[in-house]
């Protein structure tokens, strides 16, 4: 109808350190939203399927070296290349549930010596701003009960601790901090109830840009 504003989808991000259950909860949320009649899709960063994503994958699997600033910019570029499709999906009414985003980009790069949060944020400025971030927290002791760290580059206790401290610096009013030391089912119910409110409140809101 001319002049009418179509309802857009919500942009929901999950963040947190290794093994906090992000991927598990992202899948569950998409399933629950779809079951409730809300069109929702799952996206994940890094998206290891693109040309840039394949370089990131090799770096994370430690099969190549990439200079620290350069890899930071590749993680960011991997988000920029997704912007046209994400914008189109959101504007067509699809809710996006996104497993890690710019906050991981900043938290992990700024955990490296001589990197500041401000420097790391700069190339992320202007990306789509999430409507809501669910930040899953887990103590290192409980995380350890979920199995050993894998062999990927940042899967080390010290880096995870620094990243967690950096996540704390990035929180704002759009974040909900969730203690992830609960059953998968309990967590999923808590998150779904909150997410439905975000879906409702985002319908008429303008899409915004991050850190501008």
Q: Which chain residues interact with ligand Z5A by CB under 6 A?
A: 16, 18-24, 45-46, 60, 75, 100, 104-105, 108, 146-147, 154-155, 182-184, 187
* Cβ pair 129, 206 in contact under 8 A: no
Crossing angle of helices 68-80 and 102-109, in 10° steps, is 180
Please tell me whether residue 23 binds Mg ion under the rule CB under 5 A: yes
Asked if residues 204 and 15 have their Cβ atoms less than 8 Å apart, the reply is no
- 182 sits in the region (left: phi over 0; alpha: psi -120 to 50; else beta) called beta
In the complex with Mg ion, the residue whose CB is nearer, 61 or 209, is 61
Nearer to Mg ion, 22 or 132 (CB): 22
User: Residue 168 Cβ, how far from ligand Z5A at the closest point, in Å?
Assistant: 16
CB contact set of 198 (below 8 Å; sequence gap of 6+): 10, 12, 131, 132
**Would you say 23 or 58 has its CB closer to Mg ion?**
23
Residue 105 Cβ, how far from ligand Z5A at the closest point, in Å? 3
| Range in contact with Mg ion (rule: CB under 5 A) among 18-26, 118-126, 190-198, 200-208 | 18-26
| Beta carbon nearer to ligand Z5A, 8 or 52 | 52
Q: Cis ω on the peptide bond leading into residue 7 (within 30° of 0)?
A: no
* CB of 9 or CB of 16, closer to ligand Z5A: 16
Q: Of these partners, Mg ion, ligand Z5A, none, which one is at the site of residue 154 (CB under 5 to 8 Å by kind)?
A: ligand Z5A
The distance of closest approach from Cβ of residue 212 to Mg ion in the complex, given in angstroms and rounded to an integer, is 28
Quick one: tokens of 86?
A: 């994400």
CA angle 100, 103, 106 (to 5 degrees): 120
- Contact residues toward Mg ion (CB under 5 A) are 22-23
């Amino acid at each position: 109808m001319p002049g009418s504003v179509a309802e857009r989808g919500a942009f929901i991000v999950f963040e947190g350190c290794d093994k906090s259950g992000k991927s598990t909860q992202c899948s569950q949320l998409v399933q629950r939203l779809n079951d409730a009649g809300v069109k929702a899709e799952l996206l994940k960063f890094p998206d290891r399927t693109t040309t840039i994503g394949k370089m990131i994958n090799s770096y994370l699997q430690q099969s190549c070296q990439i200079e620290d600033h350069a890899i930071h910019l590749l993680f960011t570029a991997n988000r920029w290349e997704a912007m046209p499709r994400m914008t189109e999906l959101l504007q067509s009414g699809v809710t996006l549930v996104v497993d890690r985003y710019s906050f991981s980009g900043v938290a992990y790069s700024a955990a490296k010596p001589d990197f500041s949060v401000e420097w790391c944020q700069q190339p992320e400025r202007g990306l789509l701003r999430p409507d809501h971030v669910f930040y899953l927290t887990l103590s290192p002791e409980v995380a350890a009960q979920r199995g050993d760290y894998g062999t990927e580059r940042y899967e080390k206790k010290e880096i995870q601790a620094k990243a967690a401290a950096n996540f704390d610096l990035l929180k704002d009013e759009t974040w909900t901090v969730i203690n992830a030391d609960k059953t998968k089912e309990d967590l999923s119910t808590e998150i779904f109830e909150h997410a439905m409110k975000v879906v409702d409140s985002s319908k008429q809101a303008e899409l915004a840009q991050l850190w501008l």
